[in-house]
Chains A and B, each alone.
Chain A
Amino acid sequence: NAGVTQTPKFQVLKTGQSMTLQCAQDMNHEYMSWYRQDPGMGLRLIHYSVGAGITDQGEVPNGYNVSRSTTEDFPLRLLSAAPSQTSVYFCASSYSRAGVWETQYFGPGTRLLVL
């Protein structure tokens, strides 16, 4: 299994540009999430999905859109990039078992710089 994969690894954008960060998992996990990581802030949840066709907002959703058309893929769209969106973005997937949330598996991350 490849686990959780993310593309691209690095990206530089100009203010106002749009782009899509790709995330895929091959573990048949029902849950997928997007986080951003900024110094001193830990990981903050942007959007998450509990299954194909179902998405919901996390802690910091503004400026981002997501969709979940398949179990495997969970792309994150930046509609109009702003310097405040410079960050490291992590995608994660997980599952539940007997009512207990299990571990989150993280992708390698995408480092985004918005100029």
Chain B
Amino acid sequence: GQQVMQIPQYQHVQEGEDFTTYCNSSTTLSNIQWYKQRPGGHPVFLIQLVKSGEVKKQKRLTFQFGEAKKNSSLHITATQTTDVGTYFCAAHRSNDYKLSFGAGTTVTVRA
């Protein structure tokens, strides 16, 4: 089964509003990676978090890794139409190359 659970599955956002997608695991994770997949495209790497409590920002995107390294979040402020797509979290367990993906959050934006 999937190592990481991601919610919500769908997010319908008014342009200009904020939203957050969450990724949770029952086990301690080695890292968290976030990817974005545009409709019809392939996943593209956004960022990796490795340290407990780590927070990283990319313009309007804020990524957090929980203190216990069991959860993560992606917060997008002032959503734009360019944010449309599916956002995946993915994680390695310690000392394991295999990368487990969450089911993804598919984002649509109302202009």
Question: B-facing mask of A86-114, CB < 8 A → 1, else 0?
Answer: 00001000001000111111111100000
Q: Which 3 A-B pairs have the closest CB atoms?
A: A103-B45, A42-B103, A43-B101
Nearest residue in A to B99 (C-beta to C-beta)? A104
Q: What 1/0 flags go to A39-58 for Cβ under 8 Å of B?
A: 01111110010100000001
Residues on B with C-beta less than 8 A from A44 are 101
Residues 27-67 of A at the B interface (beta carbon under 8 Å): 31, 33, 35, 40-45, 48, 50, 58-59
Cα A50 to Cα B31 in complex, Å, equals 18
Whether the Cβ atoms of B43 and A41 lie closer than 8 Å is no
Is B104 interfacial (CB-CB < 8 Å)?
yes
Q: Which residues of A line the B interface, CB within 8 A?
A: 31, 33, 35, 40-45, 48, 50, 58-59, 90, 96, 100-109
A109 to chain B: which residues have CB within 8 Å? 42
Interface residue total, chain B, C-beta cutoff 8 A: 25
A-B pair count, CB < 8 Å, reads 56
Q: How far is the CA of A35 from the CA of B101 in the complex (A)?
A: 10
Is B98 in contact with A103, judged by CB distance below 8 angstroms? no
Question: Measuring CB to CB, which residues of chain B are less than 8 angstroms from any residue of chain A?
Answer: 2, 6, 9, 30-31, 33, 35, 41-45, 48, 50, 88, 90, 92, 97-104
CB distance B42 to A102 under 8 Å? Answer: no
- Name A's interface SS: strand
Bound: A43/B2 CA distance, A: 10
Highest count of chain A CB atoms <10 Å: which of B31, B92, B98, B100: B98
Chain A nearest CB from B75 CB (Å) reads 20
- A40-B9, A106-B42 in contact; A100/B31 too (CB < 8 A)? yes
B102 engages A106 (CB within 8 Å):
no
Taking a contact as CB atoms under 8 Å apart, the answer to whether B88 and A43 are in contact is yes
